[in-house]
Chains A and B, each alone.
Chain A
Amino acid sequence: MKYRIAMAAILALTMQAASAQDKPAAAVPAGQKDATTLEFEKFRTQMEQEGNPAELFELQGEEFWKAKRGPKNVALTASCDLGLGVGVVKGAYVQMPRYFADAGKVMDAERRIVWCMVEKQGYKFDDLARRPFAGDNYTPEQTSLVTYVAAQSANMKFAVPLKDPHVREVYEIGKEVVAYRAGPYDFSCNTCHGADGKRIRMQNLPNLGTPQGALSAVLGWPGYRMTGSVMLTHQWRMSDCFRQQRFPQPKYASDTITALLTYMTANANGHMYKGLGIKR
């Protein structure tokens, strides 16, 4: 015990000396980016503009949206309301998450599309949730649908209806979710995404609490991921973040994910959605 206190004192002193020298690596001022990140972004943007394989999934999604499908043999275009009226896709993506009275819930785009597939087309939720994200040679139908719907909001401004008290409440809950530390590594979303100018390895980490950071976190989803050549949605990104956060697995299309997406997307309100992305 005596030894420990002595050690604590020594260490505390040593630490003060040490922390005086602790400077961020490759000192990047807040809000600025290093040369490598800029090079990555430049060529990713170029590829998005000059031809994005995500468009192949958009084509597929358009077919799914317009065709009569599912046990009830109904087309989503004739039955699914994404918030702007049945069948209206233009601008719908940038105005979600929003509150849907018919479901009594705030829903993000993917969750809403899944809701429509279940309620209107007669698919079983458990079937859709069994393998909800793309893998080798496999793309879930809902992923292509989200891709199609999102592409129809390209170059429109994010406008999550925060004035709706339902949406505001979910937004505030989302803000708590990103700050919540737990798990073996004590990580919250904010551990990595709560400050400007940070990276994991070479990956830039957007600060979700700022409009610019939130924007860079929501831009590019859904996106074509170069690793594995797969089409992935923002729901996937959230789930995989929790995996790397060492959390348990969030249920597919759950309230928590909607809360996160509401927080992030609304923080980017007023900024332009550039359409389908390319991701590393």
Chain B
Amino acid sequence: MASYPIRIRALLKGDVTSITAIVSHPMETGLRKDDAGKTIPPQYIQVLTVELNGKKVMESHLNTAVSTNPVFNFKIKGAKLGDKIVVNWVDNTGEKGSGETTVIPG
């Protein structure tokens, strides 16, 4: 079972919270070959969502073009210090990952 660390930051400045999500994920295109010349099967995040206090605020649908170990920058309004931000993702192979953080001053 692979492990997929994730780091999330949510920084509040004025009334806008900047969310950074860094996800450990190979984002394999399915076009690369390994050293033995065998095609590496595609594995990439298809859906990534952001929740604020349990409510979905952003849903991203993604393709293989997103870089390995992807980094996302989102902005939301209406979050307060201490609010909970959760990021969930699921890839084309059914693997899932999730991480959470609280909103801190930016």
Contact = CB atoms under 8 A, between A and B. Distances in A.
Contacts of A60: 5
In this complex, the interface size class of chain B, counting residues with CB under 8 Å from chain A, is: 10 to 19
Given A50-B20, A50-B73, A51-B73, A56 B68 contact: no
Given A56-B22, A56-B24, A51 B5 contact: no
A24 to B, nearest CB: 35
Most chain A beta-carbon contacts within 10 A, residue among B7, B26, B67, B73: B7
Contacts of A55: 7, 22
A56 B20 contact: no
A53 B73 contact: no
B73 A56 contact: no
Contacts of B68: 53, 229
B69 A53 contact: yes
Contacts of B5: 56, 59-60
A47 interface: yes
Interface in A53-108: 53, 55-56, 59-60
A190 interface: no
A51 B6 CA distance: 12
B73 to A, nearest CB: 5
A175 B22 CA distance: 39
B81 interface: no
A55 B26 CA distance: 16
Nearest to A226: B67
A95 B68 CA distance: 33
20 contacts: A47-B71, A50-B71, A50-B73, A51-B9, A51-B20, A51-B21, A51-B73, A52-B22, A53-B22, A53-B24, A53-B69, A56-B5, A56-B6, A56-B7, A56-B22, A56-B69, A224-B69, A226-B67, A229-B67, A229-B69
Interface of A: 47, 50-53, 55-56, 59-60, 224, 226, 229
Interface of B: 5-7, 9, 20-22, 24, 26, 67-69, 71-73
Given A51-B72, A56-B69, 8 more contacts: A51-B20, A53-B24, A55-B7, A56-B6, A56-B7, A59-B7, A224-B69, A229-B68
